């Protein structure tokens, strides 16, 4: 997919466990290993074998793997919710959420393209993600959906025909930062293209360039009391099947 070619310069590290390879740290794929809080469990995505992808947890001291869930086909990008009670992930190009024990799987998106890189808002009520409109074009956008699957919407709406990648929430939940490719104009040699880091309000307003760096975003630092626990929210209802 053309939208993933941007990731090639990134460094990749892996932990080789037993006979399989399990992604432990893979930048810029933040979701391949995530912590729900200080001293919390790791999430790890196993190798797709025999048509299924396992999701594991591992204690912070490197304790043996615990199989959390298996998904038919591809799964990955697993990330804890801020309160550690739920997990968002990509499965077969759609965004899902499930409880921390692997139960109550809920599909949140239903699109003709592909969805990647889910990331929770600080209060756990929304999930931002990359939406790739097709497998042949370069037109990734940043979308936001409520954690119950409602109100899915295009946040960035990049009209230049190029990509927006790597959404990262502001610590206060008011903005999303992302990397964007934009056409600034044309000269005799063709398009004048720029990749930059931008921020946008969660209502889609104030799309603002803040840097000409093109490196993948991974997180946005929270300043304040480091001991402050993450916000908690009521459990989401499970839609009828």
pLDDT of residue 24: 33
Domain with residue 21: its CATH number is 2.120.10.30
Query: Residue 237 and residue 221: Cα distance in Å, rounded?
Result: 31
Sign of CA dihedral 28, 30, 33, 39: positive
Asked if the structure places residue 96 within a domain, the reply is yes
> Measured in Å, how far apart are the chain's first and last C-alpha atoms?
32
pLDDT of residue 84: 92
Q: How many structural domains compose the chain?
A: 1
pLDDT of residue 158: 72
Asked if the structure places residue 146 within a domain, the reply is yes
pLDDT of residue 105: 96
pLDDT of residue 205: 92
DSSP string of 49-113?
A: BTTEEEEEEE-TT-PPPEEEEEEES-EEEEEE-TTSSEEEEEETTEEEEEETTS-S-EE----SS
Query: Residue 185 and residue 169: Cα distance in Å, rounded?
Result: 29
Asked if the structure places residue 49 within a domain, the reply is yes
Asked if the structure places residue 55 within a domain, the reply is yes
Which two tokens mark 16? 């080789």
Give average pLDDT by consecutive 10-residue segment, the chain, 241 residues. 33 28 33 52 86 92 92 94 94 95 94 90 96 68 94 83 83 92 65 78 91 76 60 49 47
0.95 surpassed by pTM: no
Query: Residue 74 and residue 81: Cα distance in Å, rounded?
Result: 21
pLDDT of residue 186: 60
Asked if the structure places residue 202 within a domain, the reply is no
Asked if the structure places residue 45 within a domain, the reply is yes
Asked if the structure places residue 125 within a domain, the reply is yes
Range of the domain at 104: 2-167
Asked if the structure places residue 233 within a domain, the reply is no
């Amino acid at each position: 997919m053309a939208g993933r070619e941007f990731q090639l310069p990134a460094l990749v590290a892996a932990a080789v466990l037993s006979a399989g390879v399990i992604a432990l740290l893979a930048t810029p794929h933040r979701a391949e290993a995530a912590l729900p809080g200080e001293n919390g469990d790791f999430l790890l995505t196993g190798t797709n074998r025999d048509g299924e992808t396992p999701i594991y947890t591992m204690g912070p001291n490197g304790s043996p793997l615990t199989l959390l869930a298996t998904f038919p086909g591809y799964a990955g990008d697993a990330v804890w919710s801020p309160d550690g009670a739920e997990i968002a992930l990509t499965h077969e190009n759609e965004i899902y959420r499930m409880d921390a024990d692997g139960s109550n799987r809920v599909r949140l998106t239903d699109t003709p393209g592909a969805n990647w890189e889910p990331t929770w808002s600080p209060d756990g009520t929304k999930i931002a993600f990359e939406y790739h409109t097709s497998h042949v074009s370069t037109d990734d956008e940043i979308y936001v959906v409520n954690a119950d699957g409602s109100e899915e919407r295009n946040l960035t709406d990049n009209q230049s025909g190029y990509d927006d990648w790597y959404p990262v929430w502001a610590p206060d939940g008011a903005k999303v930062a992302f990397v964007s490719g934009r056409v600034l104009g044309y000269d005799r040699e063709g398009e004048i293209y720029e990749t930059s880091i931008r921020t946008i309000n969660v209502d889609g307003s104030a799309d603002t360039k803040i840097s000409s760096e093109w490196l993948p975003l991974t997180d946005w630092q929270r300043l304040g009391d480091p001991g402050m626990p993450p916000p908690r929210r009521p459990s989401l209802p499970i839609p009828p099947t």
